[in-house]
């Protein structure tokens, strides 16, 4: 069983604020694990730090502090790590090179990661296209990105991510740029591949409905922190943190899929710098919320917890 463990990871960016250098904590002391055969959804509004987490796991950016362990070990060289951990990006239009054929996009990682040699790479590419249901695969291999629809391109991006034979797939808003009508197909494809290949999947999304449907567990992020996590149904049906409650109340009917970017955005005044970062938007804020934010278990579920004083045992 493969696992990717995130231990107390933080990411601080240096940004310019009115011409002065300032520190922006994009991810603040986050811990969780991804395991084979499970999808973990990371949900939260825009700017909460979801992509920064995915990018740190893909080793596209370094954590400022904390550790990421692959099967209990500090990850080795980047190429070997990328053979195990692959990412699918949000924008299928930007992620493929218009100058190269689809077959080229797939042969390259097969060769680079030693999964094929010159004589077998073309066949390997066709096999990958078959696995993501792009038919007829031998013809699709000769096409160029501009000849494909957004959904087909995202299937190619998924095929390319599968090429090195990864154990972990990071899917950063994989359907948010696609036509609503094909989003579920792509999410079902990722789900099928997860089951067939026993992948561990991180699903980054704004959308609570698909998070609940496709993920084993959900983590809710607010301003760089995971404020609630637990089994998907528990988090959505019995949200414990006032922020999750707000998201769940604003979410669409779970049987439909729509871009939830707008629906998840809730408004408030200037955010606090310490204590509970949500307290200025919280209808239940108490004096102790300005001091510390402990994590409490939610009664009735072993793995459901939230960072909120409302859950303190009386």
Helix axes 102-112, 121-131, angle to 10 degrees: 110
Question: What is the closest distance, in whole angstroms, from the C-beta atom of residue 14 to ligand ATP in the complex?
Answer: 8
CA neighbours within 13 Å on the CB side: how many for 182?
13
**Interface with ligand ATP: number of residues (CB under 6 A):** 12
For ligand ATP, the binding residue among 51, 232, 244, 263 (CB under 6 A) is 51
CA dihedral 219, 246, 227, 206 (to 10 degrees): 40
Taking CB under 6 A as the binding criterion, the range among 40-48, 68-76, 126-134, 162-170 that sits at the site for ligand ATP is 40-48
Site for ligand ATP in 52-71 (CB under 6 A): 52
Cβ proximity of 9 and 31 under 8 Å: yes
Closer residue to ligand ATP, CB minimum distance, 128 or 178:
178
Handedness of CA 190, 195, 199, 205 (dihedral sign): positive
Taking CB under 6 A as the binding criterion, the range among 46-54, 100-108, 142-150, 193-201 that sits at the site for ligand ATP is 46-54
Contact between 263 and ligand ATP per CB under 6 A: no
Contact between 281 and ligand ATP per CB under 6 A: no
Question: What is the closest distance, in whole angstroms, from the C-beta atom of residue 121 to ligand ATP in the complex?
Answer: 34
- List all residues 6 or more positions away from 196 whose beta carbon is below 8 Å from its beta carbon: none
Taking CB under 6 A as the binding criterion, the range among 41-49, 157-165, 191-199, 290-298 that sits at the site for ligand ATP is 41-49
Contact between 44 and ligand ATP per CB under 6 A: yes
Structure tokens at 98: 């218009």
Taking CB under 6 A as the binding criterion, the range among 43-51, 155-163, 184-192, 283-291 that sits at the site for ligand ATP is 43-51
Q: Give the distance from CA 202 to its chain's centroid.
A: 4
Taking CB under 6 A as the binding criterion, the range among 48-56, 132-140, 232-240, 295-303 that sits at the site for ligand ATP is 48-56
φ/ψ (deg, to 5) at 123: -65, -40
For ligand ATP, the binding residue among 4, 6, 26, 306 (CB under 6 A) is 26
Contact between 154 and ligand ATP per CB under 6 A: no
Contact between 24 and ligand ATP per CB under 6 A: yes
Contact between 225 and ligand ATP per CB under 6 A: no
- C-beta neighbour count of 36 within 10 angstroms: 16
For ligand ATP, the binding residue among 49, 63, 103, 164 (CB under 6 A) is 49
Q: Can you tell me the distance from the alpha carbon of 194 to that of 38, in angstroms, rounded to the nearest whole number?
A: 8
Closer residue to ligand ATP, CB minimum distance, 15 or 33:
15
Q: Give the distance from CA 252 to its chain's centroid.
A: 20
Backbone region of residue 230 per phi and psi (left: phi > 0; alpha: psi in -120 to 50; beta: other values): left
Question: What is the closest distance, in whole angstroms, from the C-beta atom of residue 237 to ligand ATP in the complex?
Answer: 24
Structure tokens at 185: 């197909």
Give alpha helix (H) positions in the chain.
50-57, 78-84, 102-112, 121-131, 137-140, 150-162, 180-197, 208-214, 232-237, 242-250, 261-264
Closer residue to ligand ATP, CB minimum distance, 99 or 273:
273
Q: Can you tell me the distance from the alpha carbon of 272 to that of 293, in angstroms, rounded to the nearest whole number?
A: 13
Closer residue to ligand ATP, CB minimum distance, 24 or 94:
24
Contact between 15 and ligand ATP per CB under 6 A: yes
User: Closest Cα partner for 33 from 285, 186, 202, 223?
Assistant: 202
Closer residue to ligand ATP, CB minimum distance, 21 or 118:
21
Residue ranges binding ligand ATP (CB under 6 A): 13, 15, 24, 26, 44, 46-52
């Amino acid at each position: 069983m493969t696992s990717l463990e995130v231990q107390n990871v933080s990411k601080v960016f240096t940004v310019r604020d009115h011409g002065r250098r300032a520190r922006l904590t994009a991810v603040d002391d986050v811990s969780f694990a991804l395991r084979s055969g499970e999808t973990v959804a990371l949900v939260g509004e825009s700017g909460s730090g979801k992509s920064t987490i995915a990018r740190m796991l893909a080793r596209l950016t370094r954590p400022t502090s904390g550790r990421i362990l692959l099967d209990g070990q500090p990850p080795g060289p980047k190429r070997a790590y990328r053979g195990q951990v692959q990412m699918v990006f949000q924008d299928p239009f930007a992620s493929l090179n218009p100058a190269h054929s689809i077959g080229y996009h797939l042969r390259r990682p097969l060769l680079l990661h030693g999964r094929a040699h010159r004589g077998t790479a073309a066949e390997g590419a066709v096999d990958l296209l078959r696995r993501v249901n792009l038919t007829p695969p031998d013809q699709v291999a000769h096409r160029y990105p501009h000849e494909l629809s957004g959904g087909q391109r995202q299937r190619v991006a998924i095929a390319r991510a599968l090429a090195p034979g990864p154990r972990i797939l990071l899917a950063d808003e994989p359907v948010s740029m696609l036509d609503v009508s094909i989003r579920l197909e792509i999410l079902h494809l990722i789900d099928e591949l997860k089951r067939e290949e026993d992948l561990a999947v991180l699903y980054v999304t704004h959308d609570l409905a698909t998070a609940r449907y496709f993920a084993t567990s959900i983590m809710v992020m607010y301003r760089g922190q995971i404020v609630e996590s637990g089994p998907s149904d528990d988090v959505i049906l019995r949200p414990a943190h006032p922020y999750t409650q707000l998201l769940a109340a604003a979410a669409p009917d779970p049987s439909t899929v729509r871009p939830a970017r707008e629906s998840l955005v809730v408004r408030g005044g200037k955010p606090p710098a310490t204590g509970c970062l949500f307290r200025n938007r919280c209808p239940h804020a108490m004096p102790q919320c300005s001091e510390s934010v402990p994590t409490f278990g939610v009664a009735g579920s072993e793995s459901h917890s939230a960072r909120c004083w409302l859950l303190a045992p009386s």
